[in-house]
Chains A and B, each alone.
Chain A
Amino acid sequence: MAPGIVVAVCGDSRSGKSTILSQLLADAVLAETAGLQAAQAGVRSSRLAWVRLHVRAL
Chain B
Amino acid sequence: MYVHCELATTARAGHTVQVLDGEHERRTGTAECKLRSLRTPHHAVTLIDLPGAAQHVDATVSGIAAAQAVLLVVDSAVGACERSLAKGGQAREHALLAYMLGVRSVVVAVTKLDAGAAPYSQLRFEECVAVAAHCLKLVGYADRTVCVPCAGLIGDNVRTSSAAMPWCAAPNKPTCLRSEPRRSA
Contact = CB atoms under 8 A, between A and B. Distances in A.
Interface of A: 1-27, 29-30, 32-34, 36-38, 40, 43-44, 47, 50-51
Contacts of A47: 153
A20 B152 contact: yes
Interface of B: 1, 3, 5, 7, 11-12, 15, 18-19, 22, 25-27, 29-30, 36, 38-53, 60, 63-64, 66-75, 80, 83-84, 89-91, 94, 98, 103, 109, 111-112, 115, 150, 152-153, 155, 158-159, 176-177, 180-181
Contacts of A33: 22, 25-26, 30
Contact of A8 (B66, B155, B159): B66
A21 B52 CA distance: 14
A15 B71 contact: no
Contacts of A14: 29, 52, 75
Contacts of A32: 22
Contact of B47 (A15, A21, A34, A44): A21
B33 to A, nearest CB: 9
Given A11-B72, A15-B73, A19-B111, A36 B153 contact: no
Contacts of B18: 29-30
B52 A6 contact: no
Contacts of B94: 10-11
Given A2-B44, A4-B44, A25-B7, A9 B74 contact: no
B46 A9 contact: no
A19 B155 CA distance: 9
Contacts of A6: 45-46, 48, 66-69
A24 B40 CA distance: 11
A13 B80 CA distance: 11
B177 A11 contact: no
B88 to A, nearest CB: 11
Contact of B68 (A5, A36, A51): A5
A27 B152 CA distance: 13
